[in-house]
Amino acid sequence: MSLELRLQLKDLSWLGQGFEKKSFISPMGDSKLGEFTGEDKYRLIGKGILKVDNTIEADFYPLLEILAYADGFIDITFRRGPVRARKQIICRGDKQVSAVYRGEEAIFTMPPNPRAVVKFIGEYMGRSSLSGSDLVIELPAVEAFCLAAVTDLYRKAVFSAYAKEEVFVYAGFSQEDLLEAVNNVRENSQSLAFHLFSINAGFPRFTMEQMEQALNSLIHKGLLQKDNDAYRPVGEALLFAGNFLIFENIIEVIVGQVHENNLYRSSFMLLQAGPLDVLYLEKSRDNILMECLAPLKAEELMAAVLDSKPGII
């Protein structure tokens, strides 16, 4: 039997007073407590959530107990233009509740239905088992960031040629072009460098010497080529840059686990540029993994994460 509970955020704060020593990741914090009124209390009584003596109705207590003493969560956010969807699985041990937030309202469901959000996202992504690129690389974060900026420079050159109605012939970029690109990243959902900047929680400003070291390493790994003073992507990096010109779908997945009163987090991002082109991004220590996936594999990955309990430690 499925149980659904719709609450305003101020209701959560007020109901949270009924639980001692709540988890610090509980959505039942006190932040909205000052907004709760006597009328709100009678509204909860009328909905059958609260008794007149301020105790919680038995049917809803197990669900609220999971929210109060949560020890983990799985959070997935999907963006496609104006379409935005977010679903969270809140865990206490093996018990789970799903949460959907819409402004000042939250909808909780027990047991959760994680497959519903995966199906929703899959409708937008498509379910092809083919991938348009075979790029799979794990690079030091600095080099991955530079390669992302190279991809952005390539995209700008492509669209500049389109705008001028010219035949696109890539002239490459200079060290100065790339140094300017990595040191002036702006918030832009269409910028791969911006997404890597966010994943890495920022980068220090590059010097020309650091830029030259990164370029030489990418050349050594067969991702870039230098002709005279111009650099250009080659091989899988060139195919990748050509396929990932516009990001249509952006998916962020965050897994959190509380252990000994500390919160541990793991996350990854999926960027989709076309019906066959999905890029998986994950920060691992000082490296960043960039792997192209088929849409079907990306959907299966999300389903596997949402079906499991947080297990970072």
pLDDT per position as a tens digit, 212-263: 999 999 999 999 999 988 999 999 999 999 999 999 999 999 999 999 889 9
Tell me the C-alpha distance between 219 and 198, whole Å: 25
CATH code for position 171: 1.10.10
Do 235 and 153 lie in one domain? The reply is yes
In a domain, 305, yes or no: no
In a domain, 212, yes or no: yes
Phi, psi of 42 (to 5 degrees): -70, -25
In a domain, 214, yes or no: yes
Domain that holds residue 190: 136-243
In a domain, 249, yes or no: no
Predicted pLDDT at 175: 95
Do 59 and 147 lie in one domain? The reply is no
In a domain, 275, yes or no: no
**pLDDT mean values, one per 10 residues, the chain (313 residues):** 91 93 92 93 94 92 96 94 89 93 90 85 92 94 98 96 90 95 96 97 96 97 94 96 96 94 93 96 95 95 86 73
Residue 196 one-letter amino acid: L
Whether the CB-CB separation of 200 and 193 falls below 8 Å is answered with: no
Predicted pLDDT at 307: 82
Domain end call among 208, 243, 278 = 243
Do 142 and 227 lie in one domain? The reply is yes
Predicted pLDDT at 309: 76
Total number of domains constituting the chain: 2
CA distances from 118 to 65, 109, 166, 172, 234 (A): 26, 16, 41, 40, 35
Tell me the C-alpha distance between 88 and 256, whole Å: 11
* Sign of the alpha-carbon torsion through 258, 259, 261, 262: negative
Tell me the C-alpha distance between 168 and 214, whole Å: 27
Half-sphere exposure of 34 (CA within 13 A, CB side): 1
Tell me the C-alpha distance between 35 and 201, whole Å: 34
Do 230 and 140 lie in one domain? The reply is yes
What the block records as the tokens of 195 is: 């997404």
Do 141 and 238 lie in one domain? The reply is yes
Do 140 and 63 lie in one domain? The reply is no
Domain end call among 21, 51, 68 = 68
Domain end call among 243, 271, 292 = 243
Tell me the C-alpha distance between 133 and 67, whole Å: 42
In a domain, 44, yes or no: yes
What the block records as the tokens of 120 is: 């929703």
In a domain, 289, yes or no: no
In a domain, 34, yes or no: yes
Do 238 and 146 lie in one domain? The reply is yes
CA distances from 115 to 249, 302, 303 (A): 18, 9, 6
